[in-house]
Amino acid sequence: MNVENEKFVIVVDENLPLGIIANTAAILGITMGMKIPDVVGNDVLDLEGNPHLGIIQFPVPILKGNTEILKTLRKKLFEPQFSELTVVDFSDLAQGCKTYDEFIGKMANTSEFKLNYIGIAICGNKKQVNKLTGSMPLLR
């Protein structure tokens, strides 16, 4: 992967409580890290020789979204032109589950049209990611 041509963004519903926003961003980041581990740099040493685990090699902006923006964005991401992008979504259905087995069962019986997304992470070609999210403001 050429990190110079890649971009990773997280879009989160800005209307959620701060704790849910933080949790959503963490979950999306962990999952994306598993899917694209080659974007994480090597471990580094500080001046004293203490080790620090490698971190992602490029910025990860957290962008403002809302229910409508996230639904529209997720729908676009199902289009064939964006099939090369790595996409992780997190819905209110997932957020409300106590176990992964519960999540699996509920997802199997829920139409995508009924999901309410609270966050979406996208990584891939910088031009494609910018086409989808370039006009979105940072979440501050």
pLDDT recorded at residue 4: 80
pLDDT recorded at residue 1: 63
pLDDT recorded at residue 66: 97
From CA 100, how far away is CA 43, in angstroms rounded?
31
Dihedral of alpha carbons 8, 131, 115, 63, sign: positive
pLDDT recorded at residue 39: 87
| E strands present in 26-116 | 44-45, 51-52, 62-65, 86-91
pLDDT recorded at residue 5: 87
Between the CA of residue 128 and those of 9, 10, 76, 116, 117, what are the distances in Å? 12, 14, 11, 24, 21
Helix (H/G/I), strand (E/B), else coil: 2: coil
Q: What is the pTM of this model?
A: 0.92
pLDDT recorded at residue 55: 93
pLDDT recorded at residue 2: 73
From CA 1, how far away is CA 14, in angstroms rounded?
31
Q: Which residues of the chain have pLDDT under 50?
A: none
**Would you state the structure tokens that stand for residue 27, as one six-digit string?**
């979950």
- Domains present along the chain, CATH in parentheses: 3-39+53-133 (3.40.1490.10)
